[in-house]
Amino acid sequence: MTRPDAARPGAPASSTGPSAELVLVVDFGAQYSQLIARRVREHRVYCELVHHSTPLAELLARRPRAIILSGGPASVYAKDAPRYDTALFDAGVPVLGICYGMQLMAYLLRGRVERGDRREYGRAVLTVTDDQDLFRGIERETQCWMSHGDLVLEPPPGFVVLARTANSPVAAFADRCRRLYGVQFHPEVVHTERGRDILGNFLLKIAGCRGLWTPEAVADAAVREVAERVGDGRAIVALSGGVDSSVAAVIAHRALGDRLVAVFVDHGLLRKDEPETVIETFSCRMGASFVPVRAADRFLKALCGVRDPERKRKIIGEEFIRVFEEEASRLGLVPGGALVQGTLYPDVIESGGTHGTAAVIKSHHNVGGLPERMSLTIVEPLRNLFKDEVRAVGEELGLPPGIVWRPPFPGPGLSIRIVGPVTRRKLAVLREADHVVREEVERAGLGRRLWQYFAVLTGVRSVGVMGDERTYGYTVAVRAVTSEDGMTADWARLPHDLLERIASRIISEVPQVNRVVYDVTSKPPATIEWE
Ligand code: XMP
């Protein structure tokens, strides 16, 4: 039995990042710890999150260039507050503590930390009093974002104060000999005006990183990883036609050549005309090494009567694997065959697979939705990357813009956009409504500016009136969001006349629908998909 790394706590990282420039973020449970990782990667330095229970020796064995201690909701004085091994501060590795990370550093090294009775939350003016290194090139006064309870009142012995705000006398500190730094504010959020440059100073000037993590380096490392994992065996790649699986397929093809077969599963949950388009595109490009499988009947049968979104995902994850296993055996691949998937980092994080503190939001079908037992070894060359990073790799590999810039489409397809049980009839209604949304948004030239735009078939039916007759039809919700990586999202302010066109076309072209609503919730608190 082989399981994907994602499901194993503390699983080794893939080789996606050249280890020469690794930065680790010790996660103390901040709401957006992954944002720190993203910001570090924007400086072309590879970065990963690790849970605060990971032993120091394990961290140091990976030879990080720097370690960042994240924020977190705890007070250092709380009985079960997460701590860290103080030996970290003498390990010779530069450390940056952010918010809770800074307070913890101050507390462990015998500075003075005031227990937070009044929280400071929001924008504050940061006054830089020492601009030697961390604040090099930063104005004396700049805006920063604060969100903390505890407060550092005095730095530990040997530390100097670098900046203050009206409420925080020690908004930043440093022990330059040991290269230990702390900031009370959040450099990773956009409200900290010079956050990017401050992080850049830490990574490039203080920790000596060079920014070697380019799309080209990432692509090369991913090709090497697939080659190593598959050895001289053969593999199939799960190809859906979306950007992630297409990039994974090109990488796997570079690594394995004709030892790779791309399998496209039409599970009956795809959008209007999608199976035909994918089959046409990839048969032309890949010839005999592209195998389409029509499997709608078995997926719809397995989903019959299922209401619960998590069950839907598990059923689809399981069914996918069974189809791939059957294809693998038909192609003479098992035992020991590999299945290459385009799983991304957010899928892993949201499925609770980073050994982090994040709750399981949804079992993304190709991570948490996989069955316990399977005969294929899962290889995921993109599992440490965010979507925009995958797009950059896709461009580097020469994929056409039509594929690189396709909006994401979830593996479980339309099944998680139909609230309640999936039926062929509902699928047909949703396909038509969704087609209108996509066509109108694209005609308005807004496609590239949005993360996703689609229709949802809500479980609601309501009364309407058409041509003097009473109707009782489906309610379709239109969803359009902007986002950087799908982890957070904002509802898109679509022009009213566009919404009007979408609504009236859906009502007139899809007879079963008599009401269209627009979803104006962001993520959080909602998620992008409805299920
Ligand atoms: P949510 O709904 O969690 O979605 O805000 C975040 C992003 O992930 C996509 N998504 C999935 N992708 N398998 C996938 O391949 C899944 O099970 C899955 N669930 C959500 C979603 O479309 C959005 O872009």
Q: Please indicate, yes or no, whether residues 202 and 219 belong to a single structural domain of this protein.
A: no
Quote the number of domains for the chain.
Answer: 3
Is residue 473 in some structural domain? yes
For each of the chain's 531 residues, which pLDDT tens digit applies? Answer: 232 332 223 333 444 444 469 999 999 988 778 889 999 999 999 999 999 999 999 999 999 999 999 999 889 999 999 999 999 999 999 999 999 999 999 999 999 999 876 677 888 999 999 999 999 999 999 999 998 889 999 999 999 999 999 999 999 999 999 999 999 999 999 889 999 999 999 999 999 999 999 999 999 999 999 999 999 999 999 999 899 999 999 999 999 999 999 999 999 999 999 999 999 888 887 888 999 999 999 999 999 999 999 999 999 999 999 999 999 899 988 777 899 999 998 888 777 665 444 567 777 767 766 777 778 899 999 998 989 999 999 999 998 888 899 899 999 999 999 999 999 999 999 999 999 999 999 999 999 999 999 999 999 999 999 888 999 999 999 999 999 878 889 999 999 999 999 999 999 999 999 999 999 999 989 999 999
**Nearest C-alpha neighbor of 119 from the set 152, 98, 150:** 150
The answer to whether 304 is a known catalytic residue is no
Is residue 507 in some structural domain? yes
CATH number of domain containing 170: 3.40.50.880
Is residue 260 in some structural domain? yes
Is residue 228 in some structural domain? yes
CATH number of domain containing 471: 3.30.300.10
Active-site position among 48, 188, 350, 440: 188
Is residue 467 in some structural domain? yes
Q: Is the CB of 488 under 6 A from ligand 1?
A: no
Is residue 352 in some structural domain? yes
CA 409 / ligand 1 centre spacing (Å):
7
What are the start-end ranges of the H helices in 31-190? Answer: 33-41, 56-61, 100-108
Q: Please indicate, yes or no, whether residues 194 and 73 belong to a single structural domain of this protein.
A: yes
**What distance lies between CA 285 and its chain's CA centroid?**
29
Provide the residue range defining the domain that includes 283: 215-404
Q: Please indicate, yes or no, whether residues 288 and 194 belong to a single structural domain of this protein.
A: no
User: Helix 243-256 and helix 215-230: axis angle, to 10°?
Assistant: 60
pTM: 0.78
Which of 339, 372, 404 terminates a domain? The answer is 404
CA 529 / ligand 1 centre spacing (Å):
7
Q: Please indicate, yes or no, whether residues 104 and 197 belong to a single structural domain of this protein.
A: yes
Query: CA-CA distance, 1 to 112, in Å (whole number)?
Result: 52
Neighbours of 68 (CB within 10 A): 30
Is residue 13 in some structural domain? no
Judging by beta carbons within 10 Å of its beta carbon (0-12, 13-18, 19+), is residue 13 exposed, middle or buried?
middle
Q: Please indicate, yes or no, whether residues 25 and 81 belong to a single structural domain of this protein.
A: yes
Encoded tokens for 445? 């030239």
Amino acid at 27: D
- Report the nearest atom of ligand 1 relative to the CA of 523: 5
Q: Please indicate, yes or no, whether residues 347 and 433 belong to a single structural domain of this protein.
A: no
- Report the nearest atom of ligand 1 relative to the CA of 451: 24
Question: Best mutation site among 316, 360, 364, 483 for ligand 1, i.e. most ligand atoms within 8 A of its Cβ?
Answer: 364
Q: Please indicate, yes or no, whether residues 342 and 454 belong to a single structural domain of this protein.
A: no
Is residue 233 in some structural domain? yes
Query: CA-CA distance, 125 to 141, in Å (whole number)?
Result: 6
Q: Is the CB of 17 under 6 A from ligand 1?
A: no
The Cα-based distances of 289 to 215, 237, 251, 258, 326 in angstroms read 26, 10, 15, 7, 16
Q: Please indicate, yes or no, whether residues 318 and 355 belong to a single structural domain of this protein.
A: yes
